Amino acid sequence: MDVSAILEAGLKANDAASHALTLVSNNLGHLSVADFASDCCGSNNYPTPQQ
Amino acid sequence: MVEIFAPKQALEAASAMRCGHLRRLALVLPTTPPAQEGDVEGWTLIDCNGHSGVSKATEVLRRVGEQDVDWIIVRTDQLYQPTEATVLIQLRDRSLFLSPVEFILNDKYGYPLVIWTAAGLVTLPPESPFKDIGLQLVQHLQDCSLLGASWLERDHQALRTPEHRGKARNRQLRFLRSSVANAYRDAPTSPLAFPLLDRITGIEASQVDESSR
């Protein structure tokens, strides 16, 4: 089994998924990587999606 | 006080190797202020996305595949995000995620790894055992902390731990659940909402199963 090839494929897939999330987020306008990364739930103060 | 091998010395030594017999190599260096680092001209830099003058790991690997790059500096200490650090290393007392880039460069593409440590440079020949690479990278990260305030990525290293990722994952799932609930608040019985919420519940349950193993 070529482990390094699998690792490289995984890295590229992660990169593509991250890029796709950014594109979707930009289009939706309310879900962003920054939203996901922030500690928005610590105070139970969830961002409200746009209608 | 033990003298620490300075990253600048490491860069100078590795640059001298470029003039020697090595055709290509990957140098693992800590992130320090540019004034303390030395001249990186002629090197291709891999670190986290968004910095100017550097490249994402996947971009560099693409260029490596095209034999377009020979001299690479890897900022291992900047590759801590879940999308970048995907290899879980289990040590005796803890676990942490490392980037696979160094493993790939060494094993698949035949780059010797030259890794900075406080005691000096460690060189691993192409196709070194993964265990050796992992242990040297862990040593590298441990030694980075000896640089004190000069180590600019110190505060981000917690993101390598499974504990931190577990908390972040739970936070994201709560956010997602809240977003779905908000999106369907005017139609809470919508047949579209339940499958989404069920799916989130399923993911949460699978995470609990995984963490209890």
Measure A36 CA to nearest chain B CA, in Å: 6
pLDDT of residue A44: 44
Query: Nearest CB to A4: which of B83, B86, B104?
Result: B104
Clarify whether residues B120 and B204 are in a common domain: no
Clarify whether residues B101 and B191 are in a common domain: no
- How much is the average pLDDT of B151-166? 94
Touching check for A12 and chain B: CB below 8 Å? yes
Counted domains in chain A: 1
**SS3 category, B60:** helix
User: How far, in Å, CA of B53 to CA of B56, rounded?
Assistant: 10
- How much is the average pLDDT of B47-73? 82
The pTM of the full predicted model, rounded to 2 decimals, is: 0.81
The ipTM is: 0.77
In SS3 terms, chain A reads as: CCHHHHHHHHHHHHHHHHHHHHHHHHHHCCCCHHHHHCCCCCCCCCCCCCC
Contact assignment for A14 to B182 by CB distance below 8 Å: no
Instruction: Select the residue from A1, A6, A8, A36 to test the B interface by mutation, using most B Cβ atoms within 10 A.
Output: A8
Asked if residue B42 belongs to a domain, the reply is: yes
Clarify whether residues B12 and B103 are in a common domain: yes
> Half-sphere exposure of A23 toward its Cβ, with a 13 Å CA cutoff?
6
Clarify whether residues B134 and B173 are in a common domain: no
Contact assignment for A4 to B83 by CB distance below 8 Å: no
Clarify whether residues B48 and B89 are in a common domain: yes
Residue A2 corresponds to which tokens in the numbers above? 């070529």
Clarify whether residues B193 and B144 are in a common domain: no
Asked if residue B1 belongs to a domain, the reply is: no
pLDDT band with cut points at 50, 70 and 90 for residue B39:
confident
Pairing of strands B87-90, B113-117: unpaired
Q: What is the pLDDT of residues B80-120, one digit of tens each?
A: 998 899 999 999 999 999 999 999 999 999 999 999 999 99
Measure A10 CA to nearest chain B CA, in Å: 8
Counted domains in chain B: 2
Query: Nearest CB to A48: which of B108, B130, B182?
Result: B182
Clarify whether residues B38 and B114 are in a common domain: yes
pLDDT of residue A28: 67
Instruction: Determine the structural domain holding residue A33 and report its residue range.
Output: 1-51
Instruction: Determine the structural domain holding residue B178 and report its residue range.
Output: 162-212
Asked if residue B2 belongs to a domain, the reply is: no
Contact assignment for B171 to A40 by CB distance below 8 Å: yes
Clarify whether residues B86 and B153 are in a common domain: yes
Identify the residue whose tokens are 């992992």. B134
Contact assignment for A46 to B100 by CB distance below 8 Å: no
Kindly list the residues from chain B whose CB atom is less than 8 angstroms away from the CB atom of residue A14: 82-84, 86
